[in-house]
Chains A and B, each alone.
Chain A
């Protein structure tokens, strides 16, 4: 029966695929109809259900990653073949030399036997060399580079049990230990591009750093204590792994940003910003995805991950235009990109989008102190720099500036972030200045042919080249009469491109400020600014002030503007209205009014004036 049902079902599925109605199938097999209908309904549901698809991001990046990975493999294979051939050739050369020595120093009778033995040995050794020679690996592939970002860092080399002070850019091998002192920060950069940043009082061991077959990598670290921030480059090759062991867990990743904290009780907290981290303890595994964290106590299995509490404070730096940006924090850690396309992320909890188009660098829980934003220009054009501070979900400050930039130029913007009661309070942004070769980032440049990048975006053109720019722009402050400009003064001044210049106008006595002529920010304010992104000219205009005294005679009052002394700008037209008391009537105005015999009239102020309203008693 079941066999028959399976055959009937199969037949009906074929008929439905050809466009037949299911009712026809059910009609043909009434005895099987109830069960058949359920099965056909299920088949239809599955076939018609919305399909799972890969994300567009994965679709785009993955193909580029695959192609880049395959190209790298092809190059490596060709290199390997070349090196094997040359190794074989060198061996044969040495074998030949040995044979010649035999010929020159021995009895001729013995030579044929000796020659045969030597060649046989040479042959077998050559075969052994071909079969067993390892795939070519550079010396870099088992090492990593330590960069000192700030403070003191100590290392213990693999073959020693003594702690020594580490120098910047020292190369370490598997088996080495690294520890940062109080208020000290360090960065380990691995041969394939991944990096781990060590916060103060952190102690780690480099257990394994090596290439694996197929172009992958194996990096295993042990974190005994402290906080680290890992940026793991995603590799195409299966078998690549980046693993951190702690006293309580194993964290395994392939392509991600995450933080690992081991406290003094050996409890481990993993927080993932990008990608997924597999966390294992006591043979139980959980996956900590982006935006999640997990805390594992020693000797316990990992609990389910929970969402990371959003940072209380956040800095958002947005750069638009033909520039590639990076930001360096007060501790010397940096996040961003280089024009070569190389990405780096050393600031815990930070993220940077690709610099193609506009670039957004987000720093969670920023530090108090001086930050440095570096803008490296890849074309002529206008660059916009936006800075925003957010605290408890509210924008605390924003800053916007715009610069005209030239291809291959590099710029530095320093800004100081201030806090009050642990909340972002404000920022002071300095003037843009040429970088002049003073790159603040500590980056270890990895050989690009060994690094198929995760984003695989078209690398930004132009190579990093320090440029010292000597260009200046002229500000001419001219033609001030009846007043002066006290800042920066009257005359011609030179400023660096992008400088924001303060302007202050001061009128002479009896005059007041009228307006600025020129591209200032607020032309009606005597105190304003102008940005020097080209040569500029400004003029301060002043206007005379005049006194108007308004008086009334006996028998009435001046209602408008009232009796008294007033100061007006020359040229102002003032309305006048006089009102007689009971038993009196308005007679005339004395003074330079428009209509002296109308109780309502006007006066144009060109000089200081006195006007009087006169009244007469009614008969």
Chain B
């Protein structure tokens, strides 16, 4: 998928390694989450989904383990609170259990279906919640290198704040495409938009995010 450069080493806004080599990474080499996610084929997921739909809780537990990180991440960037993200993630999977019998394998991919449940649940959450949450400082970093961990957390915080401040649709695109690596067609199914609309929003989202990140960097300095 191309060499993924450690942008965080050079800092935001600087040219990396003296040349314009930017690659959108689908999987970051040193991404701990990627290392944890099981490499699992579509056939395996289909089998697990079918068994879970038949009432097999253990199979659903396997699906939970496979998709937990992505759903949690998706939720966290929208609520910016660790405890709330944990609660909502569990609730989303419970809703998925309730609806898994109706999931048709010929329809959207399972992950896209999960994202849709997650998105609707978060919409409901904000509708019933009184206000948006304050930024949670408890970001996870389990690096052995304390200096790198501190740097990672700073980058995570900056990015969290910037994403959190985006308008809703732009935030969805950033999360689904650039954080979770989904394709435009999958995003279009989740958000119920055309692919043309996805392209336009994607551009606006990156532009807005760029300005917000510049502001975050300015505040940090």
| Residue B199 interfacial (CB < 8 Å) | yes
Query: Roughly how many angstroms separate A439 CA and B91 CA in the complex, as a whole number?
Result: 39
Contact of A54 among B72, B159, B199 (CB under 8 A): B72
Find out whether the CB atom of A56 lies under 8 angstroms from the CB atom of B142: yes
Q: Are A52 and B23 CB-contacts (below 8 A) given A39-B203, A66-B93?
A: no
Query: Roughly how many angstroms separate A176 CA and B58 CA in the complex, as a whole number?
Result: 42
Q: Are A9 and B199 CB-contacts (below 8 A) given A17-B1, A22-B22, A54-B69?
A: yes
| Residue B107 interfacial (CB < 8 Å) | no
| Residue A507 interfacial (CB < 8 Å) | no
Q: Are A48 and B72 CB-contacts (below 8 A) given A9-B199, A42-B209?
A: no
Q: Are A237 and B178 CB-contacts (below 8 A) given A17-B1, A71-B57, A283-B130?
A: no
| Residue B12 interfacial (CB < 8 Å) | yes
Find out whether the CB atom of B206 lies under 8 angstroms from the CB atom of A37: no
Contact of A44 among B22, B58, B91 (CB under 8 A): B22
Q: Are A44 and B7 CB-contacts (below 8 A) given A52-B139, A67-B57?
A: yes
Interface string of B156-189 (1 = CB under 8 A from A): 1001100000000000001000110100100000
Contacts of B213 in A (CB 8 A): 42, 45
Find out whether the CB atom of A287 lies under 8 angstroms from the CB atom of B133: yes
Contact of B81 among A18, A49, A51, A287 (CB under 8 A): A287
Contacts of B4 in A (CB 8 A): 47-48
Interface string of A1-18 (1 = CB under 8 A from B): 011011101100100111
Contacts of A93 in B (CB 8 A): none
Query: Roughly how many angstroms separate A39 CA and B134 CA in the complex, as a whole number?
Result: 28
Contacts of B134 in A (CB 8 A): 286-287
Q: How far is the CB of A252 from chain B (nearest CB, A)?
A: 10
Contact of B69 among A10, A47, A53, A276 (CB under 8 A): A53
Find out whether the CB atom of A66 lies under 8 angstroms from the CB atom of B64: yes
Tally of chain A residues near chain B (CB < 8 A): 61
Q: How far is the CB of B43 from chain A (nearest CB, A)?
A: 23
Q: How far is the CB of B189 from chain A (nearest CB, A)?
A: 17
Find out whether the CB atom of A17 lies under 8 angstroms from the CB atom of B83: no
Find out whether the CB atom of B97 lies under 8 angstroms from the CB atom of A39: no
Q: Are A46 and B22 CB-contacts (below 8 A) given A5-B203, A54-B89?
A: no
Contact of A23 among B2, B19, B57, B138 (CB under 8 A): B19
Find out whether the CB atom of A59 lies under 8 angstroms from the CB atom of B68: yes
| Residue B109 interfacial (CB < 8 Å) | no
Find out whether the CB atom of A51 lies under 8 angstroms from the CB atom of B33: yes
Find out whether the CB atom of B140 lies under 8 angstroms from the CB atom of A53: yes
| Residue A477 interfacial (CB < 8 Å) | no
Contacts of B8 in A (CB 8 A): 48-50
Considering only residues 122-137 of chain A, those with a C-beta below 8 Å from chain B are none
Query: Roughly how many angstroms separate A238 CA and B207 CA in the complex, as a whole number?
Result: 37
Q: How far is the CB of B55 from chain A (nearest CB, A)?
A: 7
Q: Are A16 and B199 CB-contacts (below 8 A) given A39-B207, A47-B178, A67-B61?
A: no
Q: Nearest chain-A residue to B141 (Cβ)?
A: A50
| Residue B200 interfacial (CB < 8 Å) | yes
Find out whether the CB atom of A3 lies under 8 angstroms from the CB atom of B2: no
Q: Are A7 and B199 CB-contacts (below 8 A) given A275-B83, A283-B130?
A: yes
Find out whether the CB atom of A45 lies under 8 angstroms from the CB atom of B90: no
Query: Roughly how many angstroms separate A18 CA and B200 CA in the complex, as a whole number?
Result: 21
Query: Roughly how many angstroms separate A548 CA and B19 CA in the complex, as a whole number?
Result: 95
Which residues on A are within 8 Å of B, measured CB to CB?
A: 2-3, 5-7, 9-10, 13, 16-23, 26, 37-56, 58-59, 62-63, 65-67, 69-71, 74, 236-238, 254, 275-276, 280, 283-287, 289
Q: Could you name 29 residue pairs across A and B whose Cβ atoms are closer than 8 Å?
A: A3-B200, A9-B199, A10-B203, A16-B2, A16-B23, A16-B24, A17-B1, A21-B20, A22-B20, A23-B19, A40-B22, A42-B206, A47-B181, A48-B28, A50-B8, A51-B34, A51-B69, A52-B73, A52-B140, A53-B33, A54-B72, A56-B142, A62-B64, A62-B68, A63-B61, A67-B57, A70-B57, A70-B60, A74-B55
Which residues on B are within 8 Å of A, measured CB to CB?
A: 1-2, 4-8, 12, 19-26, 28, 31-34, 36, 55, 57-58, 60-61, 64-65, 68-69, 72-73, 76-77, 81-83, 85-87, 89-91, 93-94, 97, 130-131, 133-134, 138-142, 152, 155-156, 159-160, 174, 178-179, 181, 184, 199-200, 202-203, 206-207, 209-210, 213
A20-B2, A50-B156, A63-B68 known; 5 new pairs, CB 8 Å cut-off, are: A39-B203, A39-B207, A43-B206, A66-B90, A67-B61
